[in-house]
A and B are shown apart, each in its own frame.
Chain A
Amino acid sequence: MWEKIKFWGKWPFRTLQSKLVFSFLLIVLAGGTASIIIGIRMVGNTIIAEAHKKVQHDLATARIIYQEKLNRIQDVLSLTAKRDFIIRAVMGSQVKSLRRELERVRIDYGLDVLTVVDRKGVVLTRTRSPYCSQDFKGNDELVRKALGKETVSSTEIIPQDELVQEGLDLARQAYMEFIPTPKAKGRREDKETAGMMMKAAVPILDINNEVWGVIYGGIFLNRNYEIVDKIKDAVFRGERYKGKDTGTATIFQWDLRISTNVKDQNGLRAIGTRVAREVYDQVLENGRAFIDRAFVVNEWYIAAYEPVRNLKGEIIGILYVGTLEAPYTDLRKNVIYSFLGVAFFGLVLVLLLAYFITRSITRPIDNLMKATEGIAGGNFSHEVPVESRDEVGHLAASFNRMVRTLRATMEELYVVNTKLQDLNRHYLEMVGFITHELNQPMGVLKGFLIMLQDESLGPLTTSKQRQAVGTMLRNVNALINMIQKYLHLGRIESGRMEVNKAWIPLFEECLAPVLEDERQQLEARRMQVILENEEAFRRVEDEADPVLLRIVFNNLIGNAVKYGKEGGKVWVGFREEPAELLFYVKNEGRGIPPDKLGVVFDKFARLEGELERRRRGTGLGLFNAKQIVEKHGGRIWAESEEGKWANFLFTLPKGVKGS
């Protein structure tokens, strides 16, 4: 859970919107990646499968063309064998004229070899230099079959010695040194001397259907490009891709290219090169067709190979068609790129959409947040627009209701508060007025009573008179005290308490006058004041308002006199702390209960009890003292051991002289 918060709390996810957009992005990326991978796979496979199917088709077409050629040779021979001059020549062994006639036939029909054999298998005539004859051809498979009245055609390997007999140039045409080919299977030989020929043999029959000989002929395939080019034209119609022929066809003699339109690096037909090892194994060794991508000479092709067999059914070579792989891989590449392009475009679109959608979702929340901050800062005028009827809209609506209610409440409170402040001010003004008006006559009363008491206006004749004057004076003093405290309160409450700070000797200015004022009271209660740390006390100076501090000392010492033990001690002391000055007034007496230590500084706070009732305080002295000390930046507090003593302490921050 915490981990999650940490993750979402990181930089890009600070806002709700970024979180939503990121989530969108994640979903789209996951889904997009999966569909792209599947899509690319499917497209790729379809394209490859299409290519395979096509090349298979092409091979079938090539096979037909090849067979067509073979059939044509057979047809030509069949027709020729039926011609009179041949039969006559064979029967009459008129070799000379026969050779002349046949040579014309051979050239007319584009055959490389055309030979007539007599019924014993001996060559009567050849139509090609050096016109060898009289050799025995009865072992030849085709000739043998033809002598048995069969018409046959097939592709055959012709060894060099036979080639020499059929025509010197043919042996030369067949001779081929191997060109080193990458990926080809190693062979012991390094050249080929035999040749490969499409060959047919037809019996020469008389009217009685008796065999008089055989005519055989064929087309030599080595370095003969007629068939492969025909295949190429028929199948690929001369298509080219990036300057290369897309389609290629090849006839292999065993694994050697003897007729091909595959080009080598120099753009020449790549005869003399050999087939790749895997094709060798599959087609030549195992006699199966091979359809796959294959490395042909120096390019990748989608290729189809199938074995070429001789009459006996032995594998003697391969027929190949192939189409350049590049167009397909390029097609696949293009498809993939457009796929990715579309995906990227989609991603951008989704991000933009996500941005705007989430924005429309989060904007009201944003507004709410800002409005909430406004309220937290005390601005109740901020309402948010209600933009929708969904949960956020409801939230905004109830938020606005809340704001209105709050505003109304605040306004009411403000009105009530203003009234209360007015009332308070009137009350204070009245208190101030009354106390102020009382002050002067009390002063007059006090003065006369003092003079009466000390009989400077004449002797008091009875003790009752003296007692009466004494009581009056005590009450007048109490009243004056009370009036003064109310006057202080008035100043403090009305905020008119000015602190007129000056650099003053505290003992002399603040404590000494108070002690003087209280001397009579102290004597009356037989109390003894003990000054602690007096020497330092007399010397200490600080920045303070002397009038106000005098009030503080007056209140503390007045309290000590009022509530302290009759005949007890009052300690007044001073201590210098690192950053502040500490003053205290401690008296022997009943002290203060622990739970009251804090509240004695409250306004009108008074302790319950016989003593307190008799002493008649205002409950203002300590409150005033606290206000004054705090105005000076100090603290005031009380300590006490109940039944033994009470101690009031306050601090003043040390000022800097001359500041």
Chain B
Amino acid sequence: MEGRRKVLVIDDEPDLVEMIRMALERVFEVITAFNGKEGVAKARSDRPDAIVLDIMMPEKDGFAACRELKEDPATASIPVLILTGVAEHFGRTKYHRMGGMEIEAEDFIPKPVDPNELLRRVAALLKKE
């Protein structure tokens, strides 16, 4: 499996993480983390090629985690795809917002997650790179 791109999935819901892992494993190498703190640590240590990040999490939520990743020059270049809840909105154009808070991320995908769509989006992010 040499040469396979590495994707870090950060979510507190093990079943969802499992589902996403299965969806992405068809193409990428998947590593997981179950809260923001652990996710940021793994991003720094394992240097993934892309990150799938949930927002609502214990121990550092997606906002904080994303901000930290983007502020750290070591991880700033890693594209982040955010999973958004039903009550949240991330525009498809330049308009990105959540509950009135700006967030800087490369892409957004609404829950419930369509595994094929997710795979397509992650692939698109990596190709762009």
Query: Chain A residues in contact with chain B, CB under 8 A?
Result: 439-444, 446-448, 450-451, 454, 456-457, 480, 484, 487, 491, 500, 502, 504-505, 508-509, 512-513, 546-547, 550
Q: Is the CB of B92 within 8 A of A509?
A: yes
Interface 1/0s, chain B 92-104, versus A by CB < 8 A?
A: 1101010010000
Q: Is the CB of A447 within 8 A of B113?
A: yes
CB B87 to nearest CB in A, in angstroms, measures 7
- Is B124 at the interface (CB under 8 A from chain A)? no
Chain A to chain B contacts (Cβ below 8 Å), 24 pairs? A439-B112, A442-B112, A444-B13, A444-B18, A447-B23, A447-B114, A447-B115, A450-B114, A451-B19, A451-B22, A451-B115, A456-B26, A480-B112, A487-B86, A491-B87, A502-B95, A502-B97, A505-B93, A508-B92, A509-B93, A512-B92, A513-B110, A546-B95, A547-B89
Name the B residues within 8 Å of A509 (CB-CB). Answer: 91-93, 95
Complex CA distance for A427 and B81, rounded to whole angstroms = 36
CB B109 to nearest CB in A, in angstroms, measures 11
Given contacts A447-B23, A504-B91, A512-B92, contact A439 B114 (CB under 8 A): no
Q: Is the CB of B13 within 8 A of A440?
A: yes
Query: Chain B residues in contact with chain A, CB under 8 A?
Result: 13, 15-16, 18-20, 22-23, 26, 86-89, 91-93, 95, 97, 100, 110-116
Name the A residues within 8 Å of B113 (CB-CB). Answer: 443, 446-447
Main SS at interface, chain A: helix
- Find the residue from B86, B87, B88, B111 having the highest chain A CB count within 10 A: B86
Main SS at interface, chain B: loop
Complex CA distance for A492 and B92, rounded to whole angstroms = 24
Complex CA distance for A484 and B20, rounded to whole angstroms = 21
Name the A residues within 8 Å of B91 (CB-CB). Answer: 504, 509, 546
CB B11 to nearest CB in A, in angstroms, measures 10
Complex CA distance for A508 and B92, rounded to whole angstroms = 8
Name the A residues within 8 Å of B20 (CB-CB). Answer: 447
Complex CA distance for A487 and B112, rounded to whole angstroms = 14
B26: nearest residue on chain A (CB-CB)? A456
User: Given contacts A439-B112, A447-B112, A509-B92, could you give 19 more A-B pairs where the C-beta distance is less than 8 Å?
Assistant: A439-B111, A441-B15, A443-B112, A443-B113, A444-B15, A446-B113, A446-B114, A447-B16, A447-B19, A447-B23, A447-B115, A448-B19, A448-B22, A451-B116, A502-B97, A504-B95, A512-B92, A513-B110, A547-B88
Complex CA distance for A442 and B15, rounded to whole angstroms = 11
Name the B residues within 8 Å of A547 (CB-CB). Answer: 87-89
Name the B residues within 8 Å of A447 (CB-CB). Answer: 16, 19-20, 23, 112-115
Complex CA distance for A344 and B76, rounded to whole angstroms = 102
Name the A residues within 8 Å of B112 (CB-CB). Answer: 439, 442-443, 446-447, 480
Q: Is the CB of B23 within 8 A of A451?
A: yes
Complex CA distance for A484 and B112, rounded to whole angstroms = 10
Name the A residues within 8 Å of B87 (CB-CB). Answer: 487, 491, 547
B84: nearest residue on chain A (CB-CB)? A547
Complex CA distance for A487 and B110, rounded to whole angstroms = 15
Name the B residues within 8 Å of A502 (CB-CB). Answer: 95, 97
Q: Is the CB of A484 within 8 A of B16?
A: no
Name the A residues within 8 Å of B15 (CB-CB). Answer: 441, 444
Name the B residues within 8 Å of A450 (CB-CB). Answer: 114-116
Complex CA distance for A446 and B15, rounded to whole angstroms = 12
CB B118 to nearest CB in A, in angstroms, measures 8
